[in-house]
Amino acid sequence: MTYTFKIRDQIYKITLEKEDGQLQAEIEGTSIMVDFEKIEDDLYSVLIDGRSISIGVFRKGKKVQVFIEGELYELEAVSEREQRKTSHVVSGIQEIKSPMPSRVVKILKGEGDEVGPDEGLIVVEAMKMESELKSPIAGKVKNLMVKEGDAVESGAVLLVVSSE
Amino acid sequence: MFKKVLIANRGEIAVRIIRACRDLGISTVAVYSDADRRSLHVALADEACHIGGSAPGESYLNKEKIIDAAKKSGAEAIHPGFGFLSENESFADMCEKSGIVFIGPSPEAIRLMGDKITARKIAHDVKVPLVPGSDGAVSDVEASVIADEIGYPVMIKASAGGGGKGMRLVRNKDDFESSLRMARSEARSAFGDDSVFVERFIERPRHIEIQVIADSEGNTLYLFERECSIQRRHQKVIEEAPSPAISSRTRKKMGEVAVRIAKAVKYKGAGTIEFIMDQRQNFYFLEMNTRVQVEHPVTEMITGFDIVKWMIRIASGEKLPFKQKNIVMKGHALECRVYAENPETNFLPSPGVIEYLRTPSGPGIRNDSSIYNGCEITPYYDPMLSKLIVWADTREAAIRKMESALREYIVLGVKTNIGFLIRVMNNDEFRKGKIDTGFIERHPELLKPPVLQIEPALIAAALSMSSSGSAGQPAQKPSSNWKLFGRRSGVSRSPLA
């Protein structure tokens, strides 16, 4: 069975096959012998070339979280069609999104304002901490979707910067 | 001793205080907000009282509701923990007037030390060295003039501040105006007061603090120092005791200075005097925290002194039976604060549900926490998941133990700083004790994993997609760990005879 995952915007293919009761994983042309036990619903004990790793795995639909030695990996299972879609070029229009549920404290740039790269656009507060969101590109503020004091969800578009 | 104590806090510290009360045979009352009904402190306490909405202002900062809860439950005393109302003079005063013991110093001591400008004056009066800076809160224009006078880099700090909020480092004049604006805005929203002061920034400073404890008769002891130089966004992440950087002579000097400050405000209970120290062991008074500190466990580990229990015993009128010479330290302790946050995005908090949790254990390992499988880390409160504390004979052994303990940790559902903490433990400068408060800023490479374990990650993800349980024969899976345990140890449930 072959699976395709996206990790940190990179696409990887992995094929799992069972041969003589042994599990073989093939990743990008390399074959790896794998021995594994599912210890709990979210915990695997995996032996790769004799190296023992405890791996936490949590899957929700297409999204898989994997925890290995202090590091959380976020993977997404992708289909052939989605793979093609991800290769499009980034345009000169950037949406500035709230990184988490937060409150808009201060708007530093209004609609039509010119901004330079790395210039502060908006200040949001979450968990008692203020963060200034900066423009990734030089351009103009095209749309401003929020006002000071607004509570916003994670991923909500706060404003749009256009380089055109 | 009290019969019943109310804990006006949540999370890990509420659990810590509940356990201390249990040890002393005291019954406990928890208070909780809408978001915290399922929190561990509610489950562990003997009684629990709902006090309002999820926003701290509606619950954990609501003085009237908390005092009401204490009265209704018949609690004789309130332990405020840290944060929230722990350094709130008027709350301590309200407790006193309602005939409830506030487990902490007097309202007067909180007031004197709570205002950083007054605190500096007091420290100055008892001949404690201070960092050069503005003599009190300043206007925008004054601030800029003083910054020029004392020379860049300068630090802008909120007068009513704490925990790094409303604090900004300014390296050059061009950034001063915008930093001042941010500091004031943060101070206003965090403390309702936007007054700030300016002081000289000491290059490569170490953060060293002295734990003091005093009883109501004025017997005041110091429990040595903690070094908390590893900070991100001016908030501590890794703390240790003792400091690898100070001589026993400096230790004694700092301890005595700290006791002088505590005595100057007739301090009672546990408190911490924070110092900034340069590379030549010159130290300057920063501030006094008139409460139990997050990092108190490292002191407990090297002294065997239970700080939280003694806070309660002192508040109930007990005298300290020790003299300074009886307090000895042994070995080395480290604490790592495990946060739900993403080091790769400048430590932005990562709220969510803990989908899976495995915590480290073993000799010399202590995990002070309030999280469990399935609990939610809400955006309402501090995203600290736990404090992992280790003790060993030497600093080197403690670092090794911490690294191994961190490797045992597994957290799914939210991003954590565990990988980052492991990398700090392996960092050469950290291992040599060559640290200062700029350590993290100087080591951006620690924020990202140098080697991604893509292969094991892919294998595990693929395994989770395939439905099969195990590589070998698909053994019948016991439906619960209890059943598994029962099967292994050969016990089974049988009706009572």
Q: Is the pLDDT of residue A92 over 80?
A: no
- Omega of the bond prior to A136 within 30 degrees of 0, cis? no
> β-strands B77-79, B101-102: how paired?
parallel
Q: How far apart are CA B63 and CA B382, in angstroms?
A: 20
List active site positions of B: 291
pLDDT digits (tens, 9 = 90+) for A132-144: 888 878 888 988 9
Mean pLDDT by 10 residues, chain B (497 residues): 98 98 98 97 98 96 98 98 96 98 98 91 94 85 91 89 80 93 89 89 93 97 98 94 98 98 98 94 95 98 98 98 96 98 93 96 97 95 96 98 98 97 98 96 93 93 74 44 51 43
Helix axes B418-426, B395-408, angle to 10 degrees: 150
In this complex, do B452 and A73 lie within 8 Å of one another by their Cβ atoms?
yes
Q: How far apart are CA B17 and CA B26, in angstroms?
A: 11
Q: How far apart are CA B180 and CA B157, in angstroms?
A: 9
Mean pLDDT of chain A: 86
Q: How far apart are CA A129 and CA A106, in angstroms?
A: 13
> B422: nearest CA in chain A?
A70
Token pair belonging to B38: 């399922």
Set of chain B residues whose Cβ sits within 8 Å of the Cβ of A132: 182
Starting at the edge strand found earlier in the chain, the sheet holding B47-52 runs B47-52, B27-33, B4-7, B77-79, B101-102
Token pair belonging to B368: 């002070």
pLDDT reported for residue A97: 85
The alpha-carbon gap from B53 to the nearest alpha carbon of chain A, in Å, equals 16
Mutate to test the interface with B, among A7, A65, A109, A153 (most CBs of B within 10 A): A65
> Residues of B numbered 435-454 whose beta carbons fall under 8 angstroms of chain A's beta carbons: which are they?
449, 452-454
pLDDT reported for residue B476: 43
Look up the pTM and report it.
Answer: 0.79
Token pair belonging to A83: 């793979």
CB B371 within 8 A of CB B363: no
Q: Which of B356, B456, B472 sits opposite A42 (nearest CB)?
A: B356
In this complex, do A25 and B453 lie within 8 Å of one another by their Cβ atoms?
no
- Tally the residues of chain A: 164
Token pair belonging to B203: 């290059």
Mutate to test the interface with B, among A69, A74, A104, A154 (most CBs of B within 10 A): A69
- Tally the residues of chain B: 497
CB B13 within 8 A of CB B81: yes
> A14: nearest CA in chain B?
B458
pLDDT reported for residue B485: 52
What is the value of ipTM here, to two decimals?
0.81
Portion of chain A with pLDDT greater than 70, in percent: 91
pLDDT reported for residue B492: 45
Does residue B179 belong to the interface with chain A, where contact is any CB pair within 8 Å? no
Give A93's strand partners.
A162
In this complex, do A7 and B452 lie within 8 Å of one another by their Cβ atoms?
yes
**Helix H or strand E encompassing B238:** strand B235-241
Cα–Cα distance list, B104 to B82, B312, B448 (Å): 11, 8, 41
pLDDT reported for residue A29: 85
User: B436 in the Ramachandran plot: left (φ > 0), alpha (ψ -120 to 50) or beta?
Assistant: beta
* E-assigned strand segments in chain A: 2-7, 10-19, 22-27, 30-40, 43-48, 51-60, 63-68, 71-77, 93-97, 102-107, 114-115, 120-126, 129-134, 139-144, 151-152, 157-162
Give A152's strand partners.
A102
pLDDT digits (tens, 9 = 90+) for A97-138: 887 788 899 999 999 898 887 788 998 888 777 888 888 788
